[in-house]
Structure 1
Amino acid sequence: MTADPDCLFCKIIAGAIPAQIVHDGERTFAFRDIHPQAPLHVLVVPRDHAPNAAATAESDATVFAEIALTARAIAAAEGYDDYRLVFNTGPGAGQTVFHTHAHVLAGGPLPMSAG
């Protein structure tokens, strides 16, 4: 597994920073967003560090698909058939943590973006 010792999400995956974990898989990991934008707001991340969704899709399309499958499973487990996936890629798009992550949003009115 590749990790960045300065990355917030790598530290969460390693257990160095606490989080409300909802999925702990072989290649993906998911936890609740600390500033939820919807009743369900979970971040799904690959265990291997990559700076953004485009980099992950380019380097490992199968893990990119696993992110989407993990998101679907989490939404279903939380009782949602309809959900939104948001990938912010780059600071101009609102990305603040440079580790690939999908925001899984469901319930109530959903924002068009997630920070």
Structure 2
Amino acid sequence: MHDENCIFCKIAKGEIPTSVVYEDDKVIAFDDMEPLMPVHTLIIPKDHYSDVADNVPEDVLGHLFATVQKVADIKGIHEDGFRLLVNTGENASQSVRHLHVHVLGGGLMPRPNDQDWGTSATNAAEIHGSSAE
């Protein structure tokens, strides 16, 4: 199943060229066009699921995440560590509504709780130096 308007479906079908890192019959991994780290690779299922909460079959999720180690090995970040990121929905800033895993590495990344998550954070008052009411 594909969504004809989805850029990732078009990449999966080979309609849009990309820098392929890994591919098999179920997934394709490619370098992000706007990388946030020296290594920033996306892994997507070839079938269309809008996000991780879109009734994705367990075997698809398992294969998607099993591909992470292969990508980390190919990109040379397995030994030094890497981060996985899966955004789900608008509030998580999911920019393409096709399930994808970001594999980030190649440098030191701050821990998520060392970042300012803005006024929506549960510790926003502490971060911004105001008292919670």
Q: Same fold (TM over 0.5)?
A: yes
The TM-score, its normalising length taken from structure 2, stands at: 0.77
Distance in 2 of aligned mates of 1:45 and 1:66: 10
Distance in 1 of aligned mates of 2:63 and 2:52: 12
Question: Contact 2:26 / 2:46 at 8 angstroms: preserved in 1?
Answer: yes
Identify the residue that residue 108 of structure 1 maps to in structure 2.
Answer: 107
- Identical aligned residues as a percent: 38
Residues 55-80 of structure 1: CA deviation (Å, up to 9, x unaligned): 2xx33111111111111111112221
Q: Between Structure 1 and Structure 2, whose CA radius of gyration is higher?
A: 2
Question: Contact 2:21 / 2:74 at 8 angstroms: preserved in 1?
Answer: no
1:62 aligns with 2:50: no
Match of 1:78 among 75, 78, 83: 75
The alignment of Structure 1 onto Structure 2 pairs a total of residues equal to 109
Unaligned runs of 5+ in 1: none
Distance in 1 of aligned mates of 2:86 and 2:108: 18
Question: Contact 1:37 / 1:110 at 8 angstroms: preserved in 2?
Answer: no
Unaligned runs of 5+ in 2: 113-133
Bigger RCO of structures 1 and 2 (CA < 8 A, at least 6 apart): 1
| RMSD of aligned residue pairs (Cα, Å) | 1.2
The TM-score, its normalising length taken from structure 1, stands at: 0.89
Identify the residue that residue 42 of structure 1 maps to in structure 2.
Answer: 41
